[in-house]
Chains A and B, each alone.
Chain A
Amino acid sequence: MPKGQAMGEDQRPKDQPAEPASPGQVTASGTEPPPSGRDASALLASLGQATGPARGTSPIHVLTIIGQIEGHLVLPAKNKTTKYEHVIPQLVAIEQNPAVKGVLIILNTVGGDIEAGLALAEMIRTLSKPTVSLVLGGGHSIGAPIAVAADYSLIASTASITLHPIRLNGMVIGVPQTYEYLDKMQDRVIRFIVENSRIPEGKLRELMFRTGELVRDVGTVLVGREAVEVNLIDEVGGVARALEILRERIGLGPELTNGQAEG
């Protein structure tokens, strides 16, 4: 049986029969032929509303930033990406929707396009609603400015942040000019991190250009507490702590942990 079908079977709610459904019955498993003559709107109504929670906007929205951050160039499909065109409109919608009171940003990224990353970081920094970021797994390279863009940042004790210089590969035409351009790009990233965290610029540069720690490269890997000790990230913690801080900043009581806004 194909993998997708097996997964579909597993996700069928327990109260539904495991045997093939009767002709009129709608299932999400996809193993049955489409019910003939079934009203399309009834099918649509069944999709997403049958067993799910009542539709309403949660007061806290969650933005997950995974894989490579994709910007000007579309990456090969095998890359897991966070796409500019998905995330930027979502952030605009969050800013505009009065039912959304705050945003939790969860990062597990290996970096990516500098300008898309900075755009995302600027969007998060300039949101008027409270934001808390949580680095899980990794928040490397251009992930670092995104992590510090939130009002308050957390890192899981096992997560890491790699700070390193921007690199270039392939043929370089005009080496001095290219060097200056790279330097300017590097400065944009450094300035953003310094302005949005408590790390001094000298310390950040020292960590970024340190030799001897990375096997094939220059830079530093900060794991959990180390990122807090250099004042890059505010606190070591997990999802419960992140939501607690966010609720505090929003002014929501703890009873609204999983609460929904009236909707």
Chain B
Amino acid sequence: MFYTIYPLELVWEEAAADAPRVELQVEGRSLVAVPGAGGQLMVERLLSTDPNDYLDPHLQPGAALPYWLSSGPGP
């Protein structure tokens, strides 16, 4: 059951097909990534409560992950 100021029809409305999001771990930190140009994964969101993790330029939203991380499941 929902308790939100957003109209429920807006919450449940499906948007145009989006690229699937991938959750993966990089050095023990969880990321949500989306495939960018050429199938390379781009960081969309960092899932961490440690504020220091957000100072790392390699984990900023929009940063590209190395190709080897993008191909198949992580190491």
Contact = CB atoms under 8 A, between A and B. Distances in A.
Interface of A: 2-5, 7-8, 11-13, 26, 28-30, 33-34, 40, 43-44, 46-53, 55-58, 60-63, 68, 75-79, 86, 90, 93-94, 103, 110-115, 117, 138, 140-142, 162, 164, 166-169, 185, 189, 260
Contacts of A68: 4, 6, 11
7 contacts: A7-B61, A30-B63, A50-B58, A52-B59, A110-B5, A114-B1, A185-B3
Contact of B68 (A40, A49, A168): A40
A4 B64 contact: yes
B30 to A, nearest CB: 7
B68 A117 contact: no
Contacts of A164: 5
Given A68-B4, A110-B5, A114-B3, A48 B29 contact: yes
Interface in B1-22: 1-6, 8-9, 11-15, 18, 21
Interface of B: 1-6, 8-9, 11-15, 18, 21, 26-27, 29-30, 36-37, 40, 42, 47-52, 55-69, 75
Nearest to B34: A4
B32 to A, nearest CB: 9
B69 to A, nearest CB: 8
B67 A53 contact: no
- Which of B40, B57, B59 has its CB near the most chain A CB atoms (within 10 A)? B57
A207 B1 CA distance: 22
B37 A11 contact: no
A112 B58 contact: no
A185 B9 CA distance: 21
Contacts of B30: 86
Q: Shortest 3 CB-CB distances between A and B: which pairs?
A: A30-B64, A7-B62, A111-B4
B74 to A, nearest CB: 10
Contact of A185 (B1, B6, B12, B59): B1
Given A52-B57, A86-B30, A111-B3, 6 more contacts: A7-B61, A34-B68, A48-B59, A94-B49, A110-B5, A138-B5
A56 to B, nearest CB: 7
